Structure 1
Amino acid sequence: MSLPQSVDVVVIGAGAVGAACAYFAAKSGLKVAVVDKGAIASGTSSACEGNILVSDKEAGPELTLAQYSQSLWRGELAEFGRLWEFESKGGLVVSAKPGTQANLTQLASRQRACGIDVELVHADYLHDFEPRLNPDMVGGAYYSQDAQVQPTLAAAHLLRLARGMGATVHPGMRVTGFIRSGETVTGTVTDRGTIFAKAVVNAAGTWGGVIAELANVNVPVLPRKGYVMVTEPLPLLVRHKVYAAEYVDNVASSDAGLQTSPVVEGTGGGTILIGSSRERVGFDKSFSVFVLAEMARKAITLFPFLRDVKALRSYSGFRPYCPDHLPVIGPDPRAPGMWHACGHEGAGIGLSVGTGALIAASLTGAKTDMDLAPFAPERFENQMEAAHD
């Protein structure tokens, strides 16, 4: 497809977040072009589980964004759910120690105060949710709102719907710089030509920091590597997304070293997905048997039957990590004309549609449905200034 000379908005990134930004911007009546150095959904969106979770989020701005996104997945986007295999399977968080269950109980109380549907589960009733769960678990919490989609389908279909509203999509196109009028960003320079635009949205995922640097602004998005294992197809043996309570701590951790915590969930195709791992190793794609062995060992502590199940394959990817564990969403006053929508780490699929709707509202000057201040791109400059005071 030929490159448009000028549009209202250029979205950089054709993953789930970029696709959602394109969809909602086009739905708002804006002329949109999406560019990506790779194929559609070829980055983080192709190397994750497609989670739409509230269970792993502490009370605060990210949980509010998750609730807003849930309202869109289950509301105006519900008619398209079959396209991306939306499954409202629910999540079960389990504890192996009394102290961990006490922490989970406190977390559930804070989440419930924010409107989350969470039910504490006594050890005697865990098997009502998951009959094959390790009987040594001391308790848990059930989150009915946790859901899952097929992430590459979500990105692809959101872009298809955006194209139906006039957007154009240009994979295999690398952004090399920006057109400026003074300090204002007025378009993108790519290896296949330039596109003038009233606004540019940085939805480049783990490359969001690199794109920001091209505009001479600091958005400290770093890659955080993670693995997923896929088992042979089986009957329905795991009904929900099930994970150990320490997973929540790992999500919130800033440790650069390897962290693993058991996450197990079934799929419609019969395979079981096993996670999770986190480590900051740059863009090192090397394969680690040790990490997979740790994930397998811990998964078996949740579901002992997995000891006799074959793993067919594994894959890894990079999650866009921000130091304060909040995504970057909104206009950048340091580079007028640029908006950011990146840094969602492992929550990008679930938060994508809320992010896209907020970006579209901001682009059109409409009132956003929630406050963008906690996600402001310039907050990192403020944090650095405070650290030096």
Structure 2
Amino acid sequence: MLKQPKVPSKTAPPSPPLAEMPNTTITSIHPRAYSWKHNSPASKGRFSVSCSSSQAYDIVIVGAGIIGLTIARHFLLHSDLSVAIVDKAVPCSGATGAGQGHLWMINKTPGSATWDLAWRSHQLWKTLAQSLEDQGLDPAMELGWKQTGSLLIGRTDADSDMLKGRVKQLYEAGLKPEYLCSSDLFKEEPDMLVDKDTAAAFLPDDCQLDAYRTVAYIEKTNRNFVSKGRYKEFYDDPVKCFIRSDSNGGVKAVQTSKNILHSKKAVIVAAGCWTGCLIQDLFRKWGMELYVPVRPRKGHLLVLENFNFLILNHGLMEADYLSHPTVSGIDSSDHENNLSVSMVASIDAAGNLLLGSSREFVGFNTNLDESVVSYIWKRAGEFFPKLKMLSLSDISARRKVRIGLRPYMPDGKPVIGPVPGLANVYLAAGHEGSGLSTALGTAEMVVEMVLGYPGKVNTSPFSVHGVLD
């Protein structure tokens, strides 16, 4: 395989303070991932460890966000393997807990590299909701499930042309979208500002869920296997290193701050935006380097609790969300002119108004930025005139702000698959804002890979490209 020029070190995302990165050589072979380089001969030795316990499981999963938890669930339900899941924090403390919970196809493009994964996941979520109903359970209570449909809103002639094209594409892909002219759109959403140029693509079957309720349900499902000796959670227990086998060079265990978790079959890294720097930091201890270009992309989501001042009948997203244009006229240098704010609005199962969304690259910073919240509120007011009657100070008592770091990949595709040269190590990260919506399809894909089953979705767009030198 031909190697391209060296990638400057500045292309790597800023790393949290795990350890200072060594001065190593990274050789680029693909925009999604990079090849290994051995920088010292001592690459297979076991590190000295001091842990309170040593335990063995078939599968060890690093990362307890929605991706890691659903992978664990799929192994438990569709195999007889035992699973351990480890995280430096607790579920919903990262991107999963900061999301709006949209299970939408309206913003997906048929024929794109991620379409099949998104569609398969959409079907699996609907199957799960139906199975709850069949058990006499309420999906709204268990998952925060709502089938409200979604509206992709355009406000120019160019937007209308794009929306008509999207409706045609979705229809040809087997979905049932509708194109709404301004008068039809006003009937659906009378609280929205609709003029003669406003139009929408409408997908009635799109759904949403609540991340916290969904995670609680998945954890409850997984914990049913604790008594059978097949499942255990290790939260607030950061990973320190991988331990390699002396016989085959594979990873035989994960060392955390408190435990050694031996893996008999596979180690799966699903650590969101921390995946890239975690892999770098862990593998450099073998004198090796693998750069996976996952970057943190910060987002703010404004939550107004029990907000009945505005009526929404569907989930709404402005067409500009698809291109993420940057906000103009920013005074703060902190944003480095990369802040994007697009209107996304929905009402969750608890009656809360969720308003988003922002995107920006500011490293691993998760501090609240009131200027971003102001931009979100201002942008929402351009679509909903009622909101202009209120200031942010008027709603301070019922206001919450969720902040998370989306795992961004430069080509817009998650990386899912085995690490070359370490066949028992798998990555599942880089879903950015689609982690919740594509979680079940990702989980199915990973389990099929590990067990050697035929895949229901083509895995090649998501593969980890790299070679061992």
TM-score, length-scaled by structure 2: 0.76
**2:314 aligned residue:** 240
Which stretch of structure 1 is more off in the superposition, 280-289 or 200-209? 280-289
Residues 114-140 of structure 1 show CA distances to partners (whole Å, capped at 9, x for unaligned) of: 223311111110022112111225211
**1:145 aligned residue:** 205
Matched residues in 1 for 2:115 and 2:70: separation?
19
| Aligned 1:351-362 pairs, distance under 5 A | 351-362=438-449
Matched residues in 2 for 1:76 and 1:26: separation?
15
Of the three residues 103, 110, 115, the one matched with 2:174 is: 115
Matched residues in 1 for 2:208 and 2:305: separation?
20
| Aligned residue identity for 1:238 | L
CA contact (8 A) 1:89 1:148 kept: yes
1:180 pairs with 2:244: yes
Of the three residues 266, 286, 309, the one matched with 2:347 is: 266
Structure 1 pair 256/359, CA: closer, same or farther in 2 (3 Å)? farther
1:363 pairs with 2:430: no
**2:382 aligned residue:** 301
Residues 327-378 of structure 1 show CA distances to partners (whole Å, capped at 9, x for unaligned) of: 1112222322111111100110111111111111111111111111100121
Of the three residues 414, 421, 438, the one matched with 1:327 is: 414
Structure 1 pair 284/336, CA: closer, same or farther in 2 (3 Å)? same
| Aligned residue identity for 2:315 | K
**1:230 aligned residue:** 303
1:189 positional shift: 1.3
1:39 positional shift: 1.2
Which stretch of structure 1 is more off in the superposition, 261-270 or 109-118? 109-118
CA contact (8 A) 2:210 2:348 kept: no
Of the three residues 258, 282, 287, the one matched with 1:192 is: 258
Matched residues in 2 for 1:84 and 1:115: separation?
26
Question: Which structure would you say has the larger Rg?
Answer: 2
1:221 pairs with 2:272: no
CA contact (8 A) 1:19 1:156 kept: no
**1:68 aligned residue:** 120
1:296 positional shift: 1.0
Structure 1 pair 4/71, CA: closer, same or farther in 2 (3 Å)? farther
Structure 1 pair 222/256, CA: closer, same or farther in 2 (3 Å)? farther
| Aligned residue identity for 1:193 | N
**1:250 aligned residue:** 324
**1:87 aligned residue:** 146
Of the three residues 65, 77, 100, the one matched with 1:49 is: 100
SS of the residue corresponding to residue 42 of structure 1 reads coil
Matched residues in 2 for 1:368 and 1:4: separation?
34
Matched residues in 1 for 2:183 and 2:254: separation?
59
| Aligned residue identity for 1:177 | C
CA contact (8 A) 2:300 2:401 kept: yes
CA contact (8 A) 1:22 1:159 kept: no
CA contact (8 A) 2:298 2:405 kept: yes
1:201 pairs with 2:268: yes
Structure 1 pair 168/300, CA: closer, same or farther in 2 (3 Å)? same
Q: CA RMSD in A?
A: 2.1
SS of the residue corresponding to residue 133 of structure 1 reads coil
Matched residues in 2 for 1:38 and 1:234: separation?
31
1:135 pairs with 2:202: no
1:101 pairs with 2:160: yes
**2:32 aligned residue:** none
Residues 140-164 of structure 1 show CA distances to partners (whole Å, capped at 9, x for unaligned) of: 1101232111112222321221221
Matched residues in 1 for 2:307 and 2:215: separation?
27
CA contact (8 A) 2:345 2:354 kept: yes
Q: Percent identity between the aligned chains?
A: 29
1:113 positional shift: 2.5
Structure 1 pair 261/103, CA: closer, same or farther in 2 (3 Å)? same
Matched residues in 1 for 2:389 and 2:401: separation?
17
| Aligned residue identity for 1:271 | N
Structure 1 pair 12/127, CA: closer, same or farther in 2 (3 Å)? same
Matched residues in 2 for 1:105 and 1:199: separation?
46
**2:27 aligned residue:** none
Matched residues in 2 for 1:119 and 1:152: separation?
31
| Aligned residue identity for 2:404 | G
TM-score, length-scaled by structure 1: 0.91
Of the three residues 57, 74, 81, the one matched with 1:7 is: 57
Residues 274-297 of structure 1 show CA distances to partners (whole Å, capped at 9, x for unaligned) of: 101110110122332221111111
Residues 215-235 of structure 1 show CA distances to partners (whole Å, capped at 9, x for unaligned) of: 442221110001111224233
Which stretch of structure 1 is more off in the superposition, 174-183 or 352-361? 174-183
Structure 1 pair 271/77, CA: closer, same or farther in 2 (3 Å)? closer
SS of the residue corresponding to residue 323 of structure 2 reads helix
Of the three residues 358, 361, 366, the one matched with 1:277 is: 358
| Aligned residue identity for 1:117 | K
SS of the residue corresponding to residue 54 of structure 1 reads coil
Q: How many residue pairs end up in the alignment?
A: 377
**2:81 aligned residue:** 30
1:61 positional shift: 2.6
